[in-house]
Structure 1
């Protein structure tokens, strides 16, 4: 395949495509002020809440240290190549997904699905940021509100109890006693006085003496102070999804403050958000380091670290472990969300991002690893302090961030200090990803209305667009074609791995739950309606080739590269594979014409 050098001079016998120069876009797209802002913005976009509250639990549940084997393999064969691909698409087109996916009009709906997904994600992420902001505010109060059942936030003796070092092992809940009796299947039908004990629609009969002995001193409260604070005070959870509940004024205020901070960070574009990322992407590592040093020196830290790091090699033969690794790679790197294409579009056209991608992926993995050590060292201390098995304190998602970990921090010396550090770190990790989502949605709306100013990607670029054309584009832009490792991963490995993962996920998809509450069928159906991609209808008649081929004006955004690109594309012979040359037009000094009858430079 011909690979002309980026600075190759035009053949004087082949005049520059006058129409291309005449119709080229002249708007100047903003660029990163320096490479460090680009690097920190990408790290901030990829390193987020999933590294802190999801990866540790996923690794623990899927083989411990053995989980790193499928995670690293999927990261190398699928995650890193697609990450690089998205950045290259944005860099070459100097536009977000709506412009980048014009390389294959049939699949341009992917860009709209990314935009819709980013919009939905901003709603969810903003709520999580609101929780973190509210907890950060309460972290300055002494004592910490969730450290005990205080009346000022609505705790009652009937619904709340305090887990403490003095009563960790002896503090028994009546609900747990019922569960254990039913699970044991005790039925003392020979006793004279029987008592029925029910749990989860199951009932057993025990003697009066057995009942009195089992339930002596147990607590009827059904939630610890951290659980009650989160569910009853912060969220005021309603008993059913059909009940909307009441508006929480404290959450509303924090929600508005968080949106104000997001606005101040992005209203001037990347010229401001890039500088914000220099702080929000680096400060969490300092906090993570401080908490790691404290965590591994706590009594009982070895208990948690042993459960995390002890490899269970048999897990490697379980398909669910590989599916979990694939899901975590995409979740962690923020692949397929549109933010990477957007950030790549702000990069200089000639910049080589191969080394940057390697750094970003390594930083993402190291963050997940260090976060796991921080989380499980503190959870090990919590299990030792309360004298309970570590399985009882391990959780994931919001339950880890707002229930389990705050409880562990409340038992440390200087609990306010550690709580402030933790929730500041949580907020900074989340705000980076939120800035990327918001910028993507805003830029997409501006692309749709100029006056306002993953999986499928591999199939589109690898097969529909074609690797020859893609190699030509990258060589024109950076001076070299991507490696065979990258090309093979994009064209063959990634589609096979992701196709298998998609089928497996659809077959094993469970019902949605919130804690122990199983959502009704209609709620699951509504969720599917929300995630359906918004498709753009591209009319190409019955010509499948036209639908799969890039738009006739697909090429570099900037004028100084645009004209040269079309000339070299024609001279290389690749253009004839997509657009038959109109000899009459060429002899008149024009550019080649596409089957659509438009000049390839018409925007």
Structure 2
């Protein structure tokens, strides 16, 4: 044993003998861990989904179901997975294998979801790069109708809003040709009076559909667009060189990628709140005030209730007959008890919390596994959860301040502006930015922010997958140069699998994977099983003892009862509602047929089926030790019961676990404190 190993210091990679298994790396300091976790959980969902959900579900009152899910599901699961990784020093698969061998499939299921994310999430970065390149042009190409991809239906701001009456079905355009043309719209007589102007398209919408996506008429996949393919390749090249050296490179890159988006968001926020209409818009409109209170400012009346929000593009003017009309529903805050009873609101809150906090994806376990054994992960997790939610709220102000300005400037309602997902990032917000002086500058800042928000989430997902695979085959992959090759293989395979998503009909596949891949159904089921395994199979009291052994004190007692009862109950009820309320997916007005439902079901079933499959595999391998933890896990209080309730012993202690000398040396090389020496069995010493 070398002097460095005896002290518990890490062995440097260059000092490891060629062909030998290298010791597992650790974060250089706590800051790298915090920034990596922040980069993963703070992403595009904070900007383009959370603000819209607040608007859709009643403004600030949406915080009630959101924080219920956060406190009783999000934080407990976030801490559970992070502490599990730190305790086991293993990735998302082998950590569950060591805790409870029969539930190794839980880790496999989470990695399947990570594979989904690695394939489709980076496509958003390709779009962001594409928009970023075009942002340097003046005027912005999506702000005019003078481009080759525009159609006769394209009308810019002046064409529509200078005289909206010209776009009525019975409008007379004869002044353009000095003759009468009563049949100008003769082919559009099927449009009813309410929807008579829906043929008009904005330049932003046509740029997105005709230039970026280039949708085929029948929505078939068609050919792959070479320029988007280059953008996707550039995104993967950047991602590869961010993590190819493991946590040594990842820990340094996140200093920039995790902090730069905050600078961009702050600049956009300052600019947004200084715009006219950001905090108060004209009558019949809602804005930032709605985001906070869920109601229009005093004396103003919104066009519709907060719960009636069909998607309408911001380029459409007021529909005839709506001016001066009264709301068809009572606003959310005025019927609090009724709305909070709507499970749809709770479903939105739950899926937002689970996805934005990256639980059930194995990522938190992988990042936590690179911590020192005695790192205070409990305090870190609480701080990160506060940061994530605060960022979502702050992003809501930054987004809706600019959208409120656009609604004020164009004389339309917020309902015609508010949307989520790509519709916000690539249609609504670019339109708002094009109205600002120096629009190219603000567009560059915005798409840089989108790029870096998504980039660190993306490469941390790749890091999670490579960590899980490496820990499954350490003797083959924990060697000099092996990691670089593994990450390269992951990047190449995911790049090739992502090419169909940037074809002429690729948006269909993108929407399918986004809806059914990391779906609420899968995440909620995995969260439910994880909580049950830790609380009832491994033993929540034993897990509390493990945490106390790491951080020096026991966490807040509420976490124990969350893992035992509250989290599984909330997840189970929400899961049942999602299954019952599942509706066919529509993409740009086209309802997908049986093939879409089949592919969606396959995306959902694939990770879930891994759980029972590995239960059967474990049953065949070793039926007597299906729930026995690995012997190399440190048990500081092996004589205590693993689960007690109301001072009654539910499951007794399982006795001390033994370890071999090789396992002891490996743990020492992973920079555990010298006080955490291995307890060797009598048989091993002899």
Give the structure-2-normalised TM-score.
0.71
Question: 1:240 aligns to what?
Answer: 218
Mapped to 1, the partners of 2:631 and 2:91 lie a distance apart of 16
Alignment partner of 1:151: what SS? Answer: coil
Give how far 1:544 is off: 7.2
Give how far 1:38 is off: 0.6
Q: Is the 8 A contact 2:541 2:641 kept in 1?
A: no
Q: Is the 8 A contact 1:379 1:394 kept in 2?
A: yes
Mapped to 1, the partners of 2:419 and 2:101 lie a distance apart of 44
Question: 2:109 aligns to what?
Answer: 113
Mapped to 1, the partners of 2:261 and 2:361 lie a distance apart of 23
* Mapping for residues 537-548 of structure 1, pairs under 5 Å: 537-540=616-619, 546-547=625-626
Mapped to 1, the partners of 2:438 and 2:657 lie a distance apart of 77
Instruction: Identify if the C-alpha distance between structure 1 residues 580 and 73 changes in structure 2 by more than 3 Å, giving closer, same or farther.
Output: closer
Residue 64 (str. 1) matches residue 142 (str. 2): no
Q: Is the 8 A contact 1:512 1:519 kept in 2?
A: yes
Q: Is the 8 A contact 2:128 2:450 kept in 1?
A: yes
Give how far 1:344 is off: 0.3
Instruction: Identify if the C-alpha distance between structure 1 residues 431 and 84 changes in structure 2 by more than 3 Å, giving closer, same or farther.
Output: same
- Gaps spanning 5+ residues in structure 2: where? 1-19, 171-185, 282-286, 295-331, 479-526, 644-650, 661-678
Question: 2:291 aligns to what?
Answer: 308
Mapped to 2, the partners of 1:579 and 1:474 lie a distance apart of 18
Question: 2:345 aligns to what?
Answer: 321
Q: Is the 8 A contact 1:136 1:424 kept in 2?
A: yes
Cα deviation 1:444-498 (Å, max 9, x = unaligned)? 2223333134232111101111112212222222222322111111111101111
Alignment partner of 2:619: what SS? Answer: coil
Q: How large is the RMSD of aligned CA atoms in angstroms?
A: 3.0
Residue 523 (str. 1) matches residue 523 (str. 2): no
Instruction: Identify if the C-alpha distance between structure 1 residues 246 and 172 changes in structure 2 by more than 3 Å, giving closer, same or farther.
Output: farther
Give how far 1:501 is off: 0.8
Give how far 1:424 is off: 0.5
Mapped to 2, the partners of 1:365 and 1:493 lie a distance apart of 21
Question: 2:126 aligns to what?
Answer: 130
Mapped to 2, the partners of 1:269 and 1:39 lie a distance apart of 16
Mapped to 2, the partners of 1:260 and 1:299 lie a distance apart of 41
* Mapping for residues 144-223 of structure 1, pairs under 5 Å: 144-152=140-148, 154-156=149-151, 158-164=152-158, 167-168=160-161, 170-171=163-164, 177=169, 198-199=189-190, 222-223=200-201
Q: Is the 8 A contact 2:277 2:405 kept in 1?
A: yes
Q: Is the 8 A contact 1:90 1:345 kept in 2?
A: yes
Instruction: Identify if the C-alpha distance between structure 1 residues 172 and 230 changes in structure 2 by more than 3 Å, giving closer, same or farther.
Output: farther
* Mapping for residues 455-494 of structure 1, pairs under 5 Å: 455-494=528-567
Instruction: Identify if the C-alpha distance between structure 1 residues 326 and 581 changes in structure 2 by more than 3 Å, giving closer, same or farther.
Output: closer
Q: Which has the higher contact order (CA 8 A, sep 6+)?
A: 1
Mapped to 1, the partners of 2:64 and 2:107 lie a distance apart of 32
Alignment partner of 1:237: what SS? Answer: coil
Greater CA deviation, 537-546 or 254-263? Answer: 537-546
Alignment partner of 1:89: what SS? Answer: helix
Instruction: Identify if the C-alpha distance between structure 1 residues 40 and 400 changes in structure 2 by more than 3 Å, giving closer, same or farther.
Output: same
Mapped to 1, the partners of 2:567 and 2:45 lie a distance apart of 22
Question: 1:46 aligns to what?
Answer: 41
Mapped to 1, the partners of 2:464 and 2:106 lie a distance apart of 14
Cα deviation 1:224-266 (Å, max 9, x = unaligned)? 100110111111012334x112221110111111100001100
Give how far 1:43 is off: 0.7
Mapped to 1, the partners of 2:272 and 2:543 lie a distance apart of 48
Instruction: Identify if the C-alpha distance between structure 1 residues 570 and 377 changes in structure 2 by more than 3 Å, giving closer, same or farther.
Output: closer
Mapped to 1, the partners of 2:402 and 2:246 lie a distance apart of 39
Instruction: Identify if the C-alpha distance between structure 1 residues 542 and 72 changes in structure 2 by more than 3 Å, giving closer, same or farther.
Output: same
Give how far 1:106 is off: 2.3
Mapped to 2, the partners of 1:592 and 1:528 lie a distance apart of 53
For residue 452 of structure 1, the aligned residue among 468, 471, 477 is: 477
Give the structure-1-normalised TM-score.
0.80
Alignment partner of 2:76: what SS? Answer: helix
Residue 385 (str. 1) matches residue 409 (str. 2): yes
Residue 422 (str. 1) matches residue 446 (str. 2): yes
